[in-house]
Structure 1
């Protein structure tokens, strides 16, 4: 058995894989593959409608928000956000908590003024800045809720006097949030929602068409909202598999149920990291991510030996990002507690072998 701790694209539940694979041969008894059906067909239109309805239900999205399924990943949203809501000559406020937050701010700076309100770069992004001030004259405040590389996560939305934009690519649907607290949420699907290729955007309608910019239609949220995410040929298969995964999450009991499972998984692994003398966490304890657990060996020279043991035990994708080193266990929604226990057992086994 393989236990996939890779940072992305994500793992999915087996039943989702099974149904998705069957649809590649014959989708909904049409005699056609999901890969070849028309995106204008009534069958696929139902897929988009159900996917949107499930997002609205699972996240309790208010009626005055649009739910969009776009392409280009979160990286495209780094540019689309300021295109749509940052006026010409305006200013945006960004919180710098890691690589993706930095890239988002860099893209925005090409379209207007960017003020970095706080940064944790001084300690290699191992903590979340606190008690920072956000300028009231900025068009919006942007932050990244979960930092996959550095293993930090923001659980409480900062209270700011301006509209808030959040990149939730790696913790979307992993915990309960109040969508009404945010003005725009975006997330690449490939961590918790579905396969790579589709990006979820949830945007308050009053923001649409207000930047005063001339925006190419393909980058205009308002155009996508009017077209029901069908302005151009959508990523059909990615939306379909995301819909299946949303069905799975609903059948489990919803986001509040998966949040409790994620708490247990994270606590189990962090407890072992703290207990085991051969390992230590890299992120500040109060800011530790539930989605991406980063840790190193107390003796870095032993890391290769542990990775070899992990591979023997079917533990895949544990090597940490080059900017942090050590290990990174990505424990997204579909990863079971069985996989967490397998990793903990391997850590204990390593301890026993080294101590004997």
Structure 2
């Protein structure tokens, strides 16, 4: 039989395996460095959380973070990098306020929960054409571009690069001609190399692969700055943010600092090519286990499966509570699926180790065997 809770219960100082969809796992090395620097960062006598955002110490932190992010993603010089408050969901409004003119139209691709949220918010500011959708089959695939129906005069084309809840991910970049291409990369940015030059604007909430929650990174082509509507709040105008180095007001300094540490950690791992290979192995190990099983199922078409967020169900949902309870006592945390979909979900962000995936796979195999 599966071992008892007492045998698997974790010690108070032991780290669990964190499969949360967000806020997600952070690299242990980064957390240790932040702990060691918490009271006195770099000999300056104060914590980063206490520093003036306009002082030389924090300016150096911010500038280094941007340089490292530019290096990791090979961000072209004609793109501005913004570190903003509000997370990814704020961008659902901020994008149309800056890029969708009065009376204009924008194209959106509907591939799941978060693209629907983006569409709903954008409709507050103008005409939105849903150029393609996989709603009818329960978001089990990404519509091939040959089926898209883009508008002739669209202000931009928006898509969600990775659906954290539905478990779909684009492994290709759409071709939209001269129309600005906008993408939500909240869940999969920095998980593999990306040709940023093909995008007019990329945005990403931090709490997956960048850092803690409360921060969003926006990478926007500079020629698009200055197009905000008259009604756009000053705080949401990309031109204002870019012109003030993302410091028009006090930014989320500690989150920005932690993001910078993670960028340096990624570079130390060998950059995005190296982390992509690790991520490829992690997702393959888990999907192979699901596909070979008689108890677990993932319904997303194989070519469109997310590397970062793996939803799965037990064929008998009466076993869900037992599965989650057994996982928790083994230190396999946050596997319960989103409330909108149910089931299970394992998020495999950059900081989730291969050892964590191995432990999850071992438990899933054991659980199925005991109920075979």
TM-score (norm 2): 0.93
1:257-336 → structure 2 map (5 Å cutoff):
257-336=274-353
Instruction: Name 2:54's counterpart in structure 1.
Output: 40
Q: Which runs of 5+ in 2 are unaligned?
A: 1-14
Instruction: Name 2:10's counterpart in structure 1.
Output: none
Contact 2:228 2:237 in 1 (8 A): no
Instruction: Name 2:359's counterpart in structure 1.
Output: 342
Aligned equivalent of 1:104, options 118, 121, 124: 118
Instruction: Name 2:6's counterpart in structure 1.
Output: none
Aligned equivalent of 1:72, options 72, 86, 99: 86
Pick which of 132-141 and 258-267 moved more.
132-141
Aligned equivalent of 1:245, options 242, 254, 262: 262
- The DSSP-based 3-state class of the residue aligned with 2:49 is coil
- The DSSP-based 3-state class of the residue aligned with 1:293 is strand
Contact 1:88 1:211 in 2 (8 A): no
How far apart in 1 are the matches of 2:223 and 2:230? 16
Q: Which runs of 5+ in 1 are unaligned?
A: none
Contact 1:83 1:213 in 2 (8 A): no
TM-score (norm 1): 0.97
- The DSSP-based 3-state class of the residue aligned with 1:166 is strand
1:104-143 → structure 2 map (5 Å cutoff):
104-130=118-144, 131-143=147-159
Aligned equivalent of 2:197, options 168, 173, 180: 180
How far apart in 2 are the matches of 1:211 and 1:170? 26
Pick which of 280-289 and 246-255 moved more.
280-289
Aligned equivalent of 1:235, options 249, 252, 257: 252
Contact 2:97 2:229 in 1 (8 A): no
Once superposed, what is the RMSD of the aligned Cα atoms? 1.2
- The DSSP-based 3-state class of the residue aligned with 2:38 is helix
Pick which of 110-119 and 338-347 moved more.
110-119
Contact 1:2 1:315 in 2 (8 A): yes
Instruction: Name 1:194's counterpart in structure 2.
Output: 211
How far apart in 2 are the matches of 1:82 and 1:188? 17
Query: Aligned pairs, how many?
Result: 355
- The DSSP-based 3-state class of the residue aligned with 2:273 is helix
- The DSSP-based 3-state class of the residue aligned with 1:171 is coil
Contact 2:134 2:142 in 1 (8 A): yes
1:170-189 CA-to-partner distances (Å, cap 9, x unmatched) read: 00100111001110000001
Contact 1:88 1:213 in 2 (8 A): no
1:83 aligns with 2:97: yes
